Amino acid sequence: MAWKSRTRSLQVFDTELSADTVEWCPVPSSHDVLACGTYQLQKGGAEDAAAPSRTGRLYLFEFRREGPMSPPLAELQRVDTAAILDLKWCHVPLSDRAVLGMAAATGQLQLFTLSDGQAGGRSLQPLSSLEVGAERLALSLDWSTGRMDSSDVRVACSDSAGCVSVISPAEGALTALSQWKAHDFEAWIAAFSYWDTQLLYSGGDDCKLKGWDLRLGSSSPTFTSKRHSMGVCSIHSNPHREHIVATGSYDEQVALWDGRNMRQPLAETPVGGGVWRLKWHPTHQHLLLAACMHNDFHVLHCQQALEGGGGGGGACPVVASYILHNSLAYGADWSRLSLEDAAAPGSPPAAKAPKESLDGGGEGRGGGGGGGHLRIQYESPTASFDTSLEDDAGRYIPEGLAAAPPPSSSTSIPPPLNPDAPSLSCLLASCSFYDHMLHVWRWDWTPDGAPAETAL
């Protein structure tokens, strides 16, 4: 049985500043909430001797399914901040609220709570912050709660001085529990093992992947791997399969590991671009999303590697690709929303929430009422084409009616090892850097000949 894979753009949003991180909220009551962070280097003139400044903006969106003629993504809020290197939601509520962590260019880890405002609107409110070190950038963060475990919640943060910090958010106040020099150069990434949160992984620009057991202290790592030939910038523990960890590097390789044997990976997959972020699917244990910097966004199917035992050396097939970004592919995430629950045409629209701002920012482009839905020229190595998400009057055109390009992936691919696996429809978000674009898209994976899901 052949399977078909199709990716389709639902909406494009101009973030104005360079976009590098997107995160769907994993807390059940807020699966429709999306956060996006930006990073902009402001260079002074030749006469300006001051160091360049780094500014950013934090966006909050809501995914609304109001019918086929409305853009699904509505902006709720924008917050001008220091440049943002990473965003991660805590997987469980803290004090009954969803909490978003932000790694900032000021060297701070900042927390925001998702609050209900007037007229039912939602917004982010500052909760607490902690400087992990002076004159350094906070580069990444990870919560210990990846398996929805609310006990002993902690945050790991890596920074440009090569340090890793473990921080407690107890009672809304950030407290550093430990910090140590983990890498010779930038520590691009730190991530918990979600199955044993006393275990921590880190990757750095020294090309090293390291493991740490917090019970043993930080004087020496439990292992050091030099398998990657360039800087290690992405690590994600599989929340469904114990011991399984995915890593990515500037060397353009995605590696899958069994944490009990870090001498050799279970599989290595060349993806044609530096791997800035990796995300396991929230419910399907074999699907891995990769943001591949110079080579777009790809979904890897890892079942053969994970169930074929150790020994490794093989590659995981790419079953979907999203190629409609013009610039560095940095941020990507899966949504937990079910596309099967999309509102039918003619359903009453949800109440519109006013856009709020912590700093009183103006409307600008991309507001929830209708800005930000753009006509964009896309280019690929083989062709260029237009896709329009507005008509000539600026009204939104739903994806199913727009003169859109062919799907980025429509080829027959090998079926899952389970022949009875059902069709799959996923909602995703991705962002790219220099063209400052946020895309919301869907991926449909169906048996050849089966009717595909209708577009939102």
- Find the mean pLDDT for residues 220-248: 98
Of residues 412, 439, 211, the one with CA closest to residue 317: 412
pLDDT at 312: 54
Collapsing DSSP to helix, strand or coil, 29 comes out as helix
pLDDT at 117: 74
Q: Is 392 left (phi over 0), alpha (psi -120 to 50) or beta?
A: alpha
CA distances from 185 to 40, 159, 229 (A): 22, 9, 15
> Six-digit token pair at 102?
């932000």
For 90-144, strand residue ranges (E) read 99-104, 108-116, 122-131, 138-143
**Whole-prediction pTM value?**
0.86
CA distances from 290 to 238, 333, 456 (A): 14, 9, 24
Residue 154: partners with Cβ closer than 8 Å, 6 or more residues away:
143, 144, 166, 167, 168, 169, 177, 192, 197
Mean pLDDT of the chain: 84
CA distances from 277 to 157, 236, 246, 252 (A): 15, 8, 10, 12
Q: Provide, rounded to the nearest whole percent, the portion of the chain with pLDDT above 90.
A: 70
DSSP string, 339-391: GGGPPPTTPPPPPPPPPB-TT-----TT-TTTTT--EEEEE-SS-EEEEESB-
Separation between Cα atoms, residue 60 and residue 36, nearest integer Å:
7
Q: Would you say how long the chain is, in residues?
A: 456
Q: Provide, rounded to the nearest whole percent, the portion of the chain with pLDDT above 70.
A: 75
> Six-digit token pair at 321?
């690709």
Is the predicted pLDDT of residue 431 greater than 80, yes or no?
A: yes
Q: Is 296 left (phi over 0), alpha (psi -120 to 50) or beta?
A: left
> Six-digit token pair at 144?
């210990």
pLDDT at 65: 80
- List, for residues 73-123, the tens digit of each pLDDT value: 999 999 999 999 999 999 999 999 999 999 999 999 999 999 987 666 899
CATH architecture of 13-43+53-345: 7 Propeller (2.130)
Is the predicted pLDDT of residue 386 greater than 50, yes or no?
A: no
Is the predicted pLDDT of residue 362 greater than 70, yes or no?
A: no
Of residues 302, 304, 313, the one with CA closest to residue 278: 302
pLDDT at 368: 36
- Find the mean pLDDT for residues 406-419: 49
Q: Of 248-252, 265-269, 356-360, 409-413, where does mean pLDDT reach its minimum?
A: 356-360
Q: Of 1-5, 108-112, 235-239, 376-380, where does mean pLDDT reach its minimum?
A: 376-380
- List, for residues 16-44, the tens digit of each pLDDT value: 999 999 999 999 999 999 999 999 998 76
Is the predicted pLDDT of residue 425 greater than 50, yes or no?
A: yes
Is the predicted pLDDT of residue 149 greater than 60, yes or no?
A: yes
pLDDT at 45: 61
pLDDT at 170: 95
Three-point CA angle 176, 179, 183, nearest 5°: 150
- List, for residues 258-290, the tens digit of each pLDDT value: 999 999 999 999 999 999 999 999 999 999 999
pLDDT at 324: 96
410/297: higher pLDDT: 297
pLDDT at 446: 87
> Six-digit token pair at 21?
């991180």
pLDDT at 360: 32
Is the predicted pLDDT of residue 453 greater than 70, yes or no?
A: no
Backbone angles phi, psi at 428, to 5 degrees: -135, 165
- List, for residues 151-179, the tens digit of each pLDDT value: 999 999 999 999 999 999 999 899 999 99
pLDDT at 404: 38
- List, for residues 176-217, the tens digit of each pLDDT value: 999 999 999 999 999 999 999 999 999 999 999 999 999 999
Separation between Cα atoms, residue 287 and residue 302, nearest integer Å:
6
Separation between Cα atoms, residue 452 and residue 446, nearest integer Å:
7
Backbone angles phi, psi at 119, to 5 degrees: 55, 30
Helix (H) or strand (E) segment spanning residue 427? strand 424-432
- Find the mean pLDDT for residues 399-421: 48
